[in-house]
Chains A and B, each alone.
Chain A
Amino acid sequence: MEDYSVRHRGRSSQTFIYLGKLFRMFLFQNDWKVLPMAAVIAGLVAFSVGANLYKTMEGTLMGTFALSCICIWNGFFNSIQVICRERAIVKREHRSGLHISSYIAAHMIYQAFLCLLQVIITIGVCMLMNVRLPAGSLITPWPIVDFGLSLFLITYCADMLALLVSAFSKTTTTAMTIMPFLLIVQLLFSGAFFNLPSEAMPFTNLTATKWGLTALCAQGDYNSLPMVSVWNSALKMKDVEVEGEKPLLTVFQEIEKNNMRDDLLMKTGELNQNHDYDFSPDIVLRCWAWLLAWTAVYVLLTVLLLENIDKDNR
């Protein structure tokens, strides 16, 4: 007669067993490749939109949008295939005692590690390419830590969304088909870069890009920056003649002569402030809370979905 009162490993022990497995995979399964990929993407973004980031309102909006996008991209690629590629193995292990919550917890820790490294690499590349980063801090005493935390939370939120897709998809092909669709939704519904009808605005709350972009703009004190688009547009019309005269050219010459251009740009910015991007810790904390809330929702759904793995067909 067998003794069935034997105690087996609980959830926390199993989490560490799987964590060890995942870190071995980091080396053996080439998971490390996401790190150089993060550096290359950060370099491309810094090169193309980094020049005006945190210098002008338009450059900041475009730059923070691009930064949010690379975070989403990194997060998605980190985990989009991790569960679906070993789904049959997880099913076997679940049959012999694996707790799904432990398996997901191990992935959460491991992915947090990957996201953290990617954020460090992204910031490093930006600094290397002389991209201006936020100068003032709102939450911690160090502005760069605030900035890094925002990038981390966006990446991690996207990572957990991809983990959910990976748990939902039966094959890697399905997961990779869904991913671009989600990416488009994240970009379109960021709520700042593209003008959406007011009815569609509630949907922007669903995206990590919106909360990430808002936090990044607030941290860079968006509302204290000059706005240049009005000036640039008007400058293109300087040679327009009205009754044989060029009134705009005269005005521009007057402004330049009196060295008023910067004041005017600052004034334009002041008149176009967006109070969603105020330099306020409340706004940043609110954005972080949203990102964390979505992360929690994705994780919860992942666990619930994967608990039904036994129902997979052979």
Chain B
Amino acid sequence: MNIVIPIKQVPETSNVKMDEETGTMKREGVESIINPLDLYAIETGIQLKEEYGGKITVITMGPPSADKALKEAIAMGCDDGILLSGREFAGSDTWATSYALSEAIREIGDFDLILAGERATDGDTGQVGPGIASWLDLTLSTYTSKVVDLNLVEDEEVNYTNVEQDSIIVERMVEDGYEKLELPLPALLTVVKEISFPRLPTLRGKQRSRKVEIPQWNLGNLDLNQEYLGLQGSPTRVVNIDHPKVTRGGTIIDVREDGKVEEAVSKLIDYLKAKELV
């Protein structure tokens, strides 16, 4: 059971400062972390590995410093890391990113399952996972909340179906409940938080991750169509960044101004009555 997990490094957003002129996030001095939902993909992968064996390769596209995210994943229990890094990838949108990642995964070759976080906290599109599935022509389950079972052909005890192919049975969240799917392997799952609870990296894991060499892949060692890469290869265009207008103004009845609580309360009651709310 070999698993590939594409992950993304995102800015840590609990204390974000915005540039008021451009409306974009100030990135200087902001720490980079593994996209929180990707941690759930990593945990799911490790649990599957613990049960069925095999190995896990994490892959990311980003600047050279993104190897830190790969090392963190390895410290949690993944085996190998691959870093897609080079100027040719800069400015890639979800289409170009999923193309580059899918080609790298094709190069890795021997895999049964791809696990990805449902979306990244910075882009918030949820498109890269399904994009990879599409480029590689894999079966796909988005919003996966549970791995029910693996149905391996050589494993006779667990054979639910007559499908002569390895498959995975999962539950995914849909608007009014859950949907159970059986997907022939290799497949791609994008996962939501319900699927697992990420473990913390251990000291031994950290020590191991420090020793793991992370190869850097780019145009030099991957057979990629350059026209599909980077800003020029990205069909997405940011035409304008707009801020939603606040259309509802609040009314504040300030006790400190009115002096008496009773008066403020009666003002509030009058207001609610006028709006026919009481």
Q: Do A and B bind each other?
A: no
Interface residue ranges, B against A (CB under 8 Å)? none
* A interface residue numbers (CB < 8 A to B): none
